[in-house]
C-alpha cells in the first residue's frame, strides 16, 4: 500500500493505518478536565510543558479556585503565571475567559454545556474568546467532548507537509480546514483523535524539525521528504524499519 500511495487522501489514510499499528491505541479517557484543557493550552503557547504546568499549579495554589483566579489582582495573577511566555498578556485573557464562561452558565465555571452544542456553534464560541485559536478550541472539543474536529499543531503540520498531504504553503491555521475536510468523511471522532495523537507523537519523537529520524520511520515508503533526500525507499530500508514504538528502548510516549 505504502509503495503506491500518491494522493493526499491516500497518504493521510495510509499514515493513519500505519501509525495506528506503530504506536498502538491511544487511551480514550480525556487527559484533563475541559476547564484545565482550555486554560492549560492557553498557558502552553510557546512555553515548555513543565513551565505550563508550573504556571497552572501556582495560579490555583495562589488563588484557590476559579472564582479566586477571577477576583485576583492582575499583578498577582501575572506573577503566579510568570513561567508562561507572555504572563502580562495571558493573565487578563484568563480573567476575560472566566467572565465569559460565568456569563454563559449563569455563574458556574464549567464548559460541560458544550457537549450539547453543535460543533460549529461550540467552535465559534470558543474561538471568539481572547487568545483561543483553532488549535486550542479543537483540542478541547475533540479531547473532552469527542466532537468531529482535528487539532493541528506544529508537529502534525510538519509531518503532513513532509509526507505531501499538505502543500508547502499551507499554514497551520489553514491546515485545520484542509485536513478536516479531507478526513471527516473517513474518520469518526475516535479516528480523528488517534490521527492527531499519533502524528503529534510522530513529529515530537521521530519526524523532528531538524534531522528527522527517517531510518526509524514507518512512513518512509510514501514520504516526499524521504524521497527527495534519500531516493525512493529501498526494500532493505523498509525491512529494517521497526514495526512498533519500542518504549523500553526509546522512552515512554507522553499522555
Ligand atoms: S520518512 Fe522522515 S521526513 Fe518522512 S515522515 Fe518519516 S521521519 Fe518524517
Write out the three cell numbers for 162. Answer: 513532509
From the candidate CATH numbers 3.40.50.2300, 1.10.20.10, 1.10.3470.10, 1.10.1670.10, the one assigned to the domain spanning 2-27+151-244: 1.10.1670.10
Kindly report whether the global pTM for this prediction surpasses the value 0.85.
yes
Cα(165) to centroid of ligand 1, in Å?
12
As a whole number, the mean pLDDT across the chain is 95
Quick one: average pLDDT of 51-76? 97
What is the residue whose three cell numbers read 450539547? 116
Residue-wise pLDDT for 141-152, tens only, equals 999 999 999 999
Residue 8 backbone phi and psi in degrees, to 5: -60, -45
Cα(158) to centroid of ligand 1, in Å?
9
* Residue among 15, 219, 228, 233 to mutate when testing ligand 1 (max atoms within 8 A of CB): 219
Cα(37) to centroid of ligand 1, in Å?
29
CATH class held by domain 34-144 = mainly alpha
State the pLDDT at residue 1: 40
Residues 56, 39: contact at Cβ < 8 Å? yes
Quick one: average pLDDT of 171-198? 97
State the pLDDT at residue 2: 40
Residue-wise pLDDT for 100-145, tens only, equals 999 999 999 999 999 999 999 999 999 999 999 999 999 999 999 9
* Residue among 220, 242, 245 to mutate when testing ligand 1 (max atoms within 8 A of CB): 220
Calculate what percentage of the chain has a pLDDT beyond 90: 92
Cα(168) to centroid of ligand 1, in Å?
15
State the pLDDT at residue 25: 83
State the pLDDT at residue 5: 60
Quick one: average pLDDT of 212-239? 98
Say which residues have a Cβ less than 8 Å from residue 16's Cβ, sequence separation at least 6.
183, 187, 191, 194, 195, 198
State the pLDDT at residue 72: 98
Cα(225) to centroid of ligand 1, in Å?
7
Residues whose beta carbon lies within 6 Å of some atom of ligand 1? 159, 162-163, 206-207, 212-214, 217, 219-220, 223, 225-226
Quick one: average pLDDT of 46-61? 95
Please state the domain extents for the chain: 2-27+151-244, 34-144
Report whether pLDDT(248) > 70: yes
Report whether pLDDT(3) > 50: no
Cα(174) to centroid of ligand 1, in Å?
22
* Residue among 15, 155, 156, 223 to mutate when testing ligand 1 (max atoms within 8 A of CB): 223
* Residue among 199, 212, 234, 237 to mutate when testing ligand 1 (max atoms within 8 A of CB): 212
Cα(212) to centroid of ligand 1, in Å?
6
Write out the three cell numbers for 11. Answer: 497518504
Q: Which helix (H) or strand (E) holds 69?
A: helix 66-71
Distance CA 75, CA 172 (A): 33
Write out the three cell numbers for 115. Answer: 457537549
Amino acid at each position: 500500500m505504502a509503495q503506491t500511495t500518491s494522493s493526499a487522501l491516500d497518504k493521510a489514510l495510509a499514515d493513519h493505518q500505519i501509525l495506528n499499528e506503530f504506536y498502538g491505541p491511544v487511551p480514550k479517557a480525556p487527559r484533563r478536565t475541559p476547564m484545565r484543557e482550555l486554560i492549560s493550552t492557553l498557558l502552553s503557547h510557546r512555553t515548555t510543558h513543565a513551565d505550563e504546568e508550573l504556571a497552572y499549579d501556582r495560579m490555583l495554589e495562589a488563588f484557590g479556585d476559579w472564582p479566586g483566579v477571577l477576583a485576583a489582582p492582575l499583578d498577582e495573577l501575572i506573577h503566579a503565571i510568570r513561567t508562561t511566555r507572555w504572563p502580562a498578556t495571558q493573565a487578563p485573557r484568563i480573567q476575560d475567559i472566566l467572565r465569559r464562561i460565568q456569563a454563559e452558565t449563569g455563574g458556574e465555571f464549567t464548559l460541560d454545556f458544550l457537549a450539547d452544542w453543535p460543533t460549529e456553534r461550540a467552535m465559534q464560541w470558543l474561538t471568539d474568546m481572547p487568545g483561543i485559536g483553532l488549535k486550542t478550541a479543537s483540542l478541547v472539543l475533540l479531547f473532552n467532548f469527542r466532537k468531529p474536529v482535528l487539532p493541528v499543531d506544529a508537529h502534525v503540520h510538519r509531518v503532513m507537509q513532509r509526507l505531501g498531504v499538505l502543500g508547502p504553503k499551507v499554514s497551520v491555521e489553514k491546515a485545520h480546514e484542509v485536513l478536516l475536510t479531507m478526513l471527516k468523511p473517513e474518520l469518526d471522532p475516535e479516528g480523528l483523535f488517534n490521527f492527531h495523537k499519533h502524528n503529534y507523537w510522530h513529529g515530537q519523537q521521530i519526524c523532528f524539525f531538524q534531522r528527522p529520524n527517517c531510518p526509524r520511520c514507518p512512513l518512509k515508503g510514501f514520504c516526499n521528504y524521504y524521497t527527495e533526500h534519500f531516493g525512493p525507499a529501498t526494500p532493505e530500508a523498509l525491512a529494517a524499519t521497526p514495526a512498533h514504538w519500542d518504549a523500553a528502548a526509546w522512552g515512554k510516549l507522553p499522555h
